[in-house]
């Protein structure tokens, strides 16, 4: 059970040696929240929303979407069922699904409630992300439906659970990276933790109630010929509460060749 951090992390007073990051990778500097964070309000006119998305994608590589039409109760239910059906399960049940040593192992813990709620959540998030991709498509002047087929063929839902950490200055929840896919839509609930590298410094992405975070991936940076940039980001931990996020990744089909759109050639 030792590999399941969540089964022992609540009881420890100091961070085990093998979780301590090398000094140059620790989250040392204090991170200020951004004074004017990039926000896209989907109740605004299409022109305005499109403009907000393009500017945020160009300047930050991410933005938060408000008034997106997905009900808070569906988001809460999805988060609840994901936590209860997996992270709150007894350690020995979770251990059976642990796959680090055996990548052929599949997690088979899902119940019909899980499938129902998470299925509904996925359908709604999928619609939202396709709507955002349509706005990006129009904003970049690409032909209608550019992202609708091969480029958004694969959808992956991934749940990240960051147990509280006795000393957040020594470790990261997730190392700095850019998402390698087209676009990611993340729900981070009301707990801080996501940092984006912008203008030479890390900025904290403050939770906005009921908002989703859209992160431009490397492939969208390539397709847009650098008109949109992929945000480099990382996750820090905290010592007070566990943090759980739901990521939804849009990935092209494996046969698809990703290149700058012809318009930019």
Applying CB under 6 A, the residues found at the interface with ligand OGA are 158, 160, 174, 179, 186, 188, 193-194, 233, 235, 245, 247
9 binds, options Ni ion, ligand OGA, none, Cβ within 5 to 8 A by partner type: none
CA dist., res. 182 & res. 176, Å (int): 18
- Chain position carrying tokens 């059970």: 1
Give whichever of 50 and 221 is closer to ligand OGA, judged by the CB atom.
221
Give whichever of 49 and 221 is closer to ligand OGA, judged by the CB atom.
221
From the CB of 15, what's the least distance to Ni ion, in Å? 23
Give whichever of 118 and 194 is closer to ligand OGA, judged by the CB atom.
194
Give whichever of 139 and 173 is closer to ligand OGA, judged by the CB atom.
173
Cβ-proximal residue to ligand OGA, closest one: 245
56 binds, options Ni ion, ligand OGA, none, Cβ within 5 to 8 A by partner type: none
CA dist., res. 78 & res. 96, Å (int): 23
From the CB of 191, what's the least distance to ligand OGA, in Å? 9
Cβ-proximal residue to Ni ion, closest one: 179
Alpha carbon of residue 32 to chain centroid: 20
Could you tell me if 256 and 153 are in contact, meaning their C-beta atoms sit under 8 angstroms apart?
yes
DSSP strand E in 126-242: where?
154-162, 174-177, 183-187, 194-198, 201-204, 212-216, 233-235
Could you tell me if 248 and 184 are in contact, meaning their C-beta atoms sit under 8 angstroms apart?
yes
From the CB of 50, what's the least distance to ligand OGA, in Å? 25
Give whichever of 9 and 245 is closer to Ni ion, judged by the CB atom.
245
Helices (H) and strands (E) in the chain, counts: 6, 10
Among 38, 52, 179, 235, the residue binding Ni ion under the rule CB under 5 A is 179
What is the number of residues in the chain? 265
């Amino acid at each position: 059970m030792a590999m399941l951090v969540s089964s022992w992390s609540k009881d420890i007073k100091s961070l085990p040696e093998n979780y301590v990051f090398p000094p140059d990778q620790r989250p040392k500097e204090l991170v200020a929240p951004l004074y004017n964070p990039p926000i896209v309000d989907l109740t605004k006119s299409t022109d305005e929303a499109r403009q907000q998305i393009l500017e945020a994608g160009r300047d930050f590589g991410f933005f938060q979407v408000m008034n997106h039409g997905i009900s808070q109760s569906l988001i809460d239910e999805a988060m609840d069922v994901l936590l209860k059906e997996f992270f709150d399960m007894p350690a020995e049940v979770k251990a059976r699904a642990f796959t680090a040593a055996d990548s052929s192992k599949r997690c088979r813990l899902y119940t019909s409630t899980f499938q129902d709620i998470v299925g509904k959540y996925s359908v709604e998030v999928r619609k939202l992300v396709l709507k955002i991709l349509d706005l990006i498509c129009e904003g970049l002047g690409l032909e209608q439906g550019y992202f609708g087929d091969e480029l958004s063929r694969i959808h992956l839902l991934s749940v990240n659970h960051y147990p509280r950490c006795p000393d957040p200055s020594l470790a990261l929840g997730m190392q700095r990276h850019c998402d390698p896919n087209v676009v990611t839509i993340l729900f981070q609930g009301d707990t801080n933790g996501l940092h984006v590298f912008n203008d030479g410094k890390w900025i904290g992405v403050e939770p906005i109630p009921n908002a989703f975070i859209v992160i431009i991936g490397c492939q969208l940076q390539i397709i847009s010929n650098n008109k949109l940039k992929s945000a480099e980001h990382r996750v820090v931990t905290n010592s007070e509460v566990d943090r759980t996020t739901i990521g939804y990744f849009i990935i092209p089909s494996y046969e698809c060749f990703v290149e700058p759109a012809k318009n930019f050639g």
